Structure 1
């Protein structure tokens, strides 16, 4: 068992009414799952002001930059905290839900689809916490790890549903919104402006004009930004070797992938992984 698990409880579940109810330094040590059951609260997430209200679910990755918490007087929530290394060690195949996970890094507040979603989340909170407490079980570690994986898959189910709903709302938007939607869908394998221009039935030059007008960033820069996110995400998943990632991204060889990563990250894939430790 590594030192981070020894120093911190692996699973914490509690009711929360204010910031003081969070454990000390929870932002760095725990992935946070919170279901708002009454009231609302405001916070700043990576510099962006956000709000979470009754009936919404919130997920913060460990290490998120959080500040400016303000809770309504009637605020009440159920929160489940999972020690970051324990969760990371038990993640299923992340390729199952890569887009929804990356979406969650930017949009932590999830709009639930009625009572069934709320009941599912609370049930999975309780299942995981109960397995953590049942330390007399003969196969305690094995059962707890299996429950952790089931919990993650259930959370991905919630994340993906919310991500798909947002995608559908964007599909009828402007050309710029449609482009941003297409990039998120296809940038893992498609990294040329021409592909997206063809999908939108416009010229690459006009697509760049639209992007510059709306964001002051070219289409190729947006493609590279989204691709960079996915490269980092895949490299941090050590269950995949570098050749497998190159194949996943449709590079014809590992050497072409290495040159591409060096271009966008400034280091080779192996060097990046060595920095992770």
Structure 2
């Protein structure tokens, strides 16, 4: 084990309680996976107060806007911290579950349906941690990376189940809720307010009004926010080149895509990827 890994292990599995919380640097260095066994805790996430109860699962990306963690009496949980760069470097084809990933950015608390789901999550934690501990394995790095990819696929399975459940409930919701669902589903290729207004059988002006009334953000701003998140995720995935991303998102040319990215990120796609190196 090198000195860097001693200072910051790639995988940390631990038990949490009201008395024993997270390490100080967990949000800077790690993506966080938490399964609550008993009690509950509340937190402020993107300026919204949220609560996780017994039997629920939480996922926070590293550097999330997270604060004000408060734990109930008797709180118990298992948490798995994965070093952010190690996880990012071993992401499978992210396009498979981009909607579920973005859903988890907005709704980090997942309701697990039954005991089998809870056991699946806990087993997934343990398998990754045990593989990380098995440093005598002749093919340690290769085996650990494969286990990391399997872990991610299992988590995507959990996220997608929750995403589909929430999507079904939103389809019968208010105009605003239906709009937010449509944006998550279509903004990879549809970036005009008129498209969503047509889907909802209202005018673009009225859709902007409804969005502003419900969230203080216009429909066009929501579309750009979700599009920006998808672009960032795809640019961070080294499995795609820039031309492939432009095609996946329905841009007519790479140059048009580059201009769009420059407008919303302030840098070109190539410049953004250079900063990741």
How far apart are the structure 2 equivalents of 1:232 and 1:3? 32
How far residue 274 of structure 1 moved from its aligned partner, in angstroms, is: 2.3
Structure 1 unaligned spans of 5+ = none
Matching of residues 128-147 of structure 1 within 5 Å = 128-147=128-147
- Count of paired positions: 277
Q: What corresponds to 2:181 in structure 1?
A: 181
Structure 2 unaligned spans of 5+ = none
Q: 1:206 to 1:125 in 2, by over 3 A?
A: same
Q: Tell me if the contact between 1:30 and 1:62 (Cα under 8 Å) persists in the aligned partners.
A: yes
TM, length-normalised to structure 2: 0.93
1:20 alignment partner, SS class: coil
Q: Tell me if the contact between 1:4 and 1:85 (Cα under 8 Å) persists in the aligned partners.
A: no
Per-residue CA distance 1:193-252 (angstroms, 9 max, x = gap): 222122122232332333233334332222122111211221222321110110010111
Deviates more, 1:75-84 or 1:206-215: 206-215
How far residue 65 of structure 1 moved from its aligned partner, in angstroms, is: 3.2
Aligned CA RMSD, in angstroms, stands at 1.9
1:116 alignment partner, SS class: helix
How far apart are the structure 1 equivalents of 2:108 and 2:87? 17
2:15 alignment partner, SS class: strand
Q: 1:132 to 1:215 in 2, by over 3 A?
A: closer
How far residue 174 of structure 1 moved from its aligned partner, in angstroms, is: 1.4
Q: 1:19 to 1:28 in 2, by over 3 A?
A: farther
Q: 1:215 to 1:64 in 2, by over 3 A?
A: closer
1:194 alignment partner, SS class: helix
Matching of residues 226-245 of structure 1 within 5 Å = 226-245=226-245
TM, length-normalised to structure 1: 0.93
Q: What corresponds to 1:223 in structure 2?
A: 223
Q: 1:242 to 1:68 in 2, by over 3 A?
A: same
2:20 alignment partner, SS class: helix
How far apart are the structure 2 equivalents of 1:93 and 1:230? 14
